Amino acid sequence: MAAGMRFDIFEKPGSNMLIDTHCHIDQFQSPEDVVRECENSACRVVAVTNLPSHFAVAADRLRGHRFVSAALGMHPLFASEGIRELGAFKRMASQTNFIGEIGLDFSRQGVASKTIQERIFEDVLNAIQDRPRFVTLHSRGAEAAVLDGLRRHGIKAAVFHWFSGSATVLENVFAEGHFVSVNPAMLSSASGKRVIAQSPRERILVESDGPFTKVLNQVCRPTSIAFVYQNLAARWGVSNESAVACIKSNFDRILANCDPTSLR
């Protein structure tokens, strides 16, 4: 990461600003176009990464951008690569207020690397337990284990991206002060609808998870999340403006605990 690069994350976004808390901007065909679109539309984005080496590139390219922030990631499905980048993660963790995507994946896709994932996740949590940060989590098939890790390391106000676990674990997520983020795919799936219905408004954030979700058969971009806001507003029986203000308030509460003097 370039020395002396500071985040301007504590400037309050406008009350009508859409906030995408989990987007893989570096996975789009043309990341530069997506960033330009976000900047032009004042769409606040947490640009998650899969590995520290990806974060280093993203942070450098996003230097000077007002609305898009790179997040330091260690994706559980990249465990074989990630084990070699743990040292880099630990070094970079002190320089950022945004962490993600991190976590565990015990689904059929990830269970073969369960042991190495657990080792990496433990080291990652050790590296970020020193102070509050914005943390976005992968927890597919491992929701209780991820929550336990947060509890053991004293990490508060983390965000469970695309939560799909049990109602009991979700209750525990909220009881311990964490959040969930809702993406377009969750609006139509049975598990997604259940999560939204069970989630208090003050514990919900919005994400695109682009380019891995779609809106009206189109790849979801950060600016596409207006669809999610509109859906939440309809479910809650409030205006779109009220839904936007609610999500902004939730996002601001997490950032309020971060260190305004640290590098991003």
**For residue 10, what pLDDT is reported?**
35
Task: Report the chain's mean pLDDT, rounded to a whole number.
Answer: 92
Q: Is the pLDDT of residue 264 over 70?
A: no
Q: pLDDT tens digit string along 21-44?
A: 999 999 999 999 999 999 999 999
**For residue 3, what pLDDT is reported?**
30
pTM of the model: 0.92
- pLDDT band (50, 70, 90) for residue 4: very low
Q: Is the pLDDT of residue 263 over 70?
A: no
**For residue 15, what pLDDT is reported?**
59
Q: Is the pLDDT of residue 80 over 60?
A: yes
| Per-residue three-class SS string for the chain | CCCCCECCCCCCCCCCCCEEEEECHHHCCCHHHHHHHHHHHCCEEEECCCCHHHHHHHHHHCCCCCCEEECEEECHHHHHHHHHHHHHHHHHHCCCCEEEEEECCCCCCCHHHHHHHHHHHHHHHHHHCCCCCEEEEECCCCHHHHHHHHHHHCCCCCEEECCCCCHHHHHHHHHCCCEEEECHHHHCCHHHHHHHHHCCHHHEEECCCCCCCEECCEECCHHHHHHHHHHHHHHHCCCHHHHHHHHHHHHHHHHCCCCCCCEC
**For residue 259, what pLDDT is reported?**
79
What percent of the chain is modeled with pLDDT above 90? 88
- pLDDT band (50, 70, 90) for residue 205: very high
Q: pLDDT tens digit string along 91-149?
A: 999 989 999 999 999 999 999 999 999 999 999 999 999 999 999 999 999 999 999 99
Complete domains list, the chain, with CATH: 19-255 (3.20.20.140)
- pLDDT band (50, 70, 90) for residue 215: confident
Q: Comparing 8-12, 31-35, 110-114, 163-167, which segment has the lowest mean pLDDT?
A: 8-12
Q: Is the pLDDT of residue 168 over 60?
A: yes
